[in-house]
Amino acid sequence: MFDTKRFMKETFEPRTADVDMSELKDYFDEGENAVFTVRCLEGIEIGRAKEAAARNRNIRAILEGIVSQRSDDVKESIRKLIGVDDDVPQDIAEKAEYVVTGLADPPDWKLDNVLWLCRYFPVNFYALSQKILELTGLGHVPGKRKPSGIAAT
């Protein structure tokens, strides 16, 4: 029988893995392993990524309505200004959100960094998103319990 009480008391930690980034070795410090570290996502984070991709699609539709009577140059300028580009498929928009959220190291990457990686190193981009989804499918791991009498920090 499943022990719901024990399950609900458990402390879970994100499952992590290193992903080889040998193709980017020129951008790592000398002697450093060319790897990025990713973690699994929580259910809410997956939902937010899907919502971000849907917002991207909705913004594009609204934009088309607003600028439909404008010249192509004006349309393109507005698209670039608000960050909506017809060249970014919804699949990539969603995976980019997974990578932004699940990338543990380097820790300071934003969406523009991830899209830059996607543009010029697409296989590495897909490797990161696939590993994040794989880890997410495996779920979090039970955290290490503190010995009794030691306060959690």
Tell me which H or E stretch contains 39. strand 35-39
Domain that holds residue 114: 11-140
Q: Give per-residue pLDDT as tens, 72-121.
A: 666 666 555 555 555 567 888 899 999 999 999 999 999 889 999 999 99
pTM, entire model: 0.75
Q: Is residue 109 situated within a structural domain?
A: yes
Please indicate whether residue 52 or residue 98 has the higher confidence score (pLDDT). 98
**Total number of domains in the chain:** 1
Residue-averaged pLDDT of the chain:
84
Bond from prior residue into 14 cis (ω within 30 degrees of 0): no
User: Is 78 a domain residue?
Assistant: yes
d(CA 141, CA 90) in angstroms, rounded, equals 31
Q: What local confidence, expressed as pLDDT, does residue 75 receive?
A: 61
124 found inside a domain: yes
User: Tell me, what's the pLDDT at 153?
Assistant: 47
User: Residue range 9-31: average pLDDT?
Assistant: 96
